[in-house]
Structures are given as C-alpha cells and as structure tokens.
Amino acid sequence: MLHMQMHNPPHPGEILKELYLDPLHLTVTETAFGLNVTRKTLSALLNGRAGVSPEMALKLAIAFDTTPEHWLNLQQIYTLWKAKQETNMQDMRNVRHFFEVSSDSQERSFPKFV
C-alpha cells in the first residue's frame, strides 16, 4: 500500500480555521455556539493545544458537510508525525532488533518487567 507522508502537516485546528471559519467569516464565539462547545474548547483546538476527539469530529462533520473520518484522519496524521519527531529513534532500533532476534529463535524469551 502506498502512503504519502507529509512534512510538518498542519494541526486540524489550523485547517478548521483557515479552510472553514475564515472563509465563512465565523467567529470563535459563533462557531463554539453552533458546535455546542465552549469558546475555551474550540480555542484550544484552533490553537493546536487540543486534538479532534471523536465527538468533535462528528460535530465538525455535521457543521461543515464533511465526514467524521476526515477530521479524525487529519488528527491521526498530525499526531503520528509529531510522535515521529519526538521519538528517540535508538529506542525504535532496539525494538526492531529485539523482534528480529526473537523471530530467529524457536522459543521466545520475553523479559519480565517489574
């Protein structure tokens, strides 16, 4: 399966503001009222301090004639990209090495974590 990876994808809140609120000349107060959320909740999303929850995705889909999957996919792409930036790649190599070594042996020996 072919996947295009984005370099520094926008936060869903940025997309919401630039592609939906601004062109429709909607204020944060109006939009929050229409979505039945607080200004604080919407502001956190728009400013990248909060992500799109499944409930918010449903509301955004209804409000802007999209799908909940659209909003959740935007969030997933952003969250995964951010995790890749913040993850210690040496830890990832250790994970890969552990499973490569384990798959070569007949009997797997998993460490006990206390």
Domain residue limits, the chain: 12-102
> 12-102: which CATH number, 1.10.260.40, 3.40.640.10, 2.40.50.100, 1.10.10.60?
1.10.260.40
The rounded distance, in Å, linking the Cα atoms of 66 and 59 is 10
Q: Say what the pTM is.
A: 0.78
- Between CA 45 and CA 50, with CA 47 as vertex, the angle to 5 degrees is 35
Q: Span 40-63, mean pLDDT?
A: 98
How confident is the model at residue 110, as a pLDDT?
A: 66
The rounded distance, in Å, linking the Cα atoms of 23 and 56 is 20
DSSP symbol at 59: H
Question: How confident is residue 91, by pLDDT bands cut at 50, 70 and 90?
Answer: confident
